[in-house]
């Protein structure tokens, strides 16, 4: 009888331990809590990404007179790119114009106009600048500029870590995490690191994705070559010394022990 009582007590301790360790509060896992309590600000950085050296950009010139605009458009891509950019250039299934590579001094060689500086311009500003300069050659030109090698890296406790090329400049931290398959249950949601390099210097900020205020951070909208790192939580750091599925095995063992007690009655 003493053995049976002791055995039952041990089973209750095991089951209680499993329940305690497996319960995680909503505050630790839910994104953007208390959204209704914050003042959403307009983040000007969404459309203010500046063109930098080594960027790949496409420039499309259109006009009512297509023949007049044709000399200002590079030929379509006809070779396979080895840097991953082809996935973006061919994403629509349609042939795209060959991209310009911005050199180390921030210039490109543009048809007719020659060597022009594009570094420091946003897409919108560069399009407006070219439109003004092309007025001399084309009536009412329409210029579209795109950055086609916009990349970010997502590392750490996510399901599919890697470097991702996106087709537009509107990329937030949650969207980048979505590309990486979201965080694992072991990811620390209140301490996500964003590392950024601009003009040869690095900066960083830790973001708390459980709080709605994060949407007002200048690091919430990602820039070219940003790195997002999801830190492992305490449970994962502790599990580094043993199998991360240990809690599952303990749960199974507790169920088996419970069944044994019921059968032994």
Complete DSSP assignment for 65-113: SHHHHGGGSPPBP-S--SSSTHHHHTTTSS--BPPEEP-TTSEEEETTT
Residues in the chain, how many? 265
- Is 187 in the same domain as 250? no
Say whether both 7 and 80 belong to one domain. no
Same domain, 182 and 220: yes
Query: Which position has the token pair 């537009």?
Result: 168
Buried b (16+ CB within 10 A) or exposed e, 127-148: bebbbeebeebbeebebebbbb
Helix residue spans in the chain (DSSP H): 2-22, 26-29, 66-69, 86-89, 123-134, 173-179, 234-239, 246-264
- pLDDT attached to residue 203: 93
**Which tops the pLDDT comparison, 30 or 153?**
153
Sign (positive/negative) of CA torsion 139, 117, 199, 194?
positive
Same domain as 165, residue 37: yes
Predicted TM-score (pTM) of this structure: 0.66
- At which residue do the structure tokens 């470097």 appear? 163
Q: Is residue 20 part of a domain?
A: yes
β-sheet with 100-101: strand ranges across: 100-101, 56-62, 142-147
- 205 with 252, same domain? no
3-state secondary structure at position 53: coil
Q: Are residues 176 and 246 in the same domain?
A: no
Tell me what percent of the residues of the chain surpass a pLDDT of 70.
63
Indicate which CATH number applies to the domain containing 116: 3.30.1950.10
Question: Could you tell me if residue 51 is inside a domain?
Answer: no
Instruction: Please give the share of the chain, as a percent, with pLDDT higher than 90.
Output: 40
Same domain flag for 159 and 198 = yes
Query: Do 143 and 155 have their domain in common?
Result: no
Two tokens at 16?
A: 């209680």
pLDDT class for 28, splitting at 50, 70, 90?
low
Clarify whether residues 132 and 87 are in a common domain.
Answer: yes
Predicted pLDDT of residue 85: 47
For residues 71-79, average pLDDT? 74
**pLDDT tens-digit readout, 139-151:** 999 999 988 888 9
Q: Which two tokens stand for residue 34?
A: 């208390």
- Both 62 and 137 in one domain: the answer is yes
Q: What is the mean pLDDT of residues 75-97?
A: 51
**CB atoms inside a 10 Å sphere around CB 160:** 10
Q: 77-81, 98-102, 117-121, 216-220 — which is least confidently predicted?
A: 77-81
pLDDT at position 81: 45
CA distance 53 to 208: 32
Domain of 181, CATH number, reads 3.10.560.10
Q: Between 140 and 45, whose confidence is greater?
A: 140
Band of residue 4 on the pLDDT scale cut at 50, 70, 90: low
- Name the nearest CA neighbour of 222 among 262, 146, 265, 164: 164
The domain in which residue 116 lies consists of: 56-147
List, for residues 106-120, the tens digit of each pLDDT value. Answer: 999 999 999 999 999
- CA-closest candidate to residue 222, choices 171, 146, 151: 171
Q: According to the model, what pLDDT value does residue 86 have?
A: 46
CB 230 within 8 A of CB 158: yes
- For residue 188, which phi and psi values (nearest 5 degrees)? -85, 105
* DSSP assigned state of 158: B
pLDDT of 88 higher than 70? no
Domain closes at, from 112, 147, 182: 147
Are the C-beta atoms of 141 and 61 separated by less than 8 Å?
A: yes
Confidence class for position 252, pLDDT limits 50, 70, 90: confident
Q: Do residues 40 and 156 share a domain? A: yes
Number of domains in the chain: 3
Is pLDDT of 243 > 70?
no
Work out the angle between the directed axes of helices 2-22 and 246-264 (0-180°, nearest 10): 150
Q: Cα–Cα distances in Å, from 100 out to 117, 137, 233?
A: 12, 21, 43
40 & 163 share domain = yes
What is the pLDDT at residue 221? 92
| Residue 130 confidence (pLDDT) | 96
What does the pLDDT average to over 50-73?
90
> What digits encode the pLDDT tens for the residues 171-223?
899 999 999 999 998 889 989 999 998 877 899 999 999 888 888 899 999 98
């Amino acid at each position: 009888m003493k053995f049976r009582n002791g055995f039952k007590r041990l089973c209750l301790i095991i089951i209680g331990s499993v329940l305690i360790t497996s319960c995680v509060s909503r505050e630790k896992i839910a994104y953007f809590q208390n959204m209704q309590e914050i003042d959403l600000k307009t983040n000007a950085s969404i459309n203010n990404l500046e063109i930098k050296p080594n960027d790949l950009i496409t420039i499309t010139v259109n006009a009512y007179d297509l023949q007049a605009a044709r000399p200002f458009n590079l030929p379509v891509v006809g070779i396979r790119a080895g840097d991953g950019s082809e996935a973006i250039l061919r994403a629509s299934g349609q042939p795209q114009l060959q991209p310009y590579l911005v050199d180390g001094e921030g210039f490109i060689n543009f048809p007719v106009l020659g060597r022009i500086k594009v570094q420091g311009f946003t897409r919108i500003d560069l399009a407006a600048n070219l439109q003004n300069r092309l007025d001399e050659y084309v009536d009412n030109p329409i210029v579209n500029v795109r950055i086609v090698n916009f990349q970010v890296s997502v590392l750490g406790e996510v399901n599919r870590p890697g470097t991702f090329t996106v087709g537009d400049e509107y990329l937030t931290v949650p969207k980048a995490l979505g590309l990486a398959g979201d965080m694992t249950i072991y990811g620390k949601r209140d301490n996500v690191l964003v590392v950024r390099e601009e003009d040869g210097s690095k900066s960083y900020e830790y973001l708390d994705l459980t709080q709605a205020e994060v949407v007002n951070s200048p690091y919430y909208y990602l820039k070219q070559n940003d790195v997002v790192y999801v830190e492992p939580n305490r449970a994962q750091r502790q599990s580094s010394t043993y199998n991360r599925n240990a809690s599952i095995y303990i749960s199974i063992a507790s169920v088996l022990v419970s069944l044994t007690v019921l059968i032994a009655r």
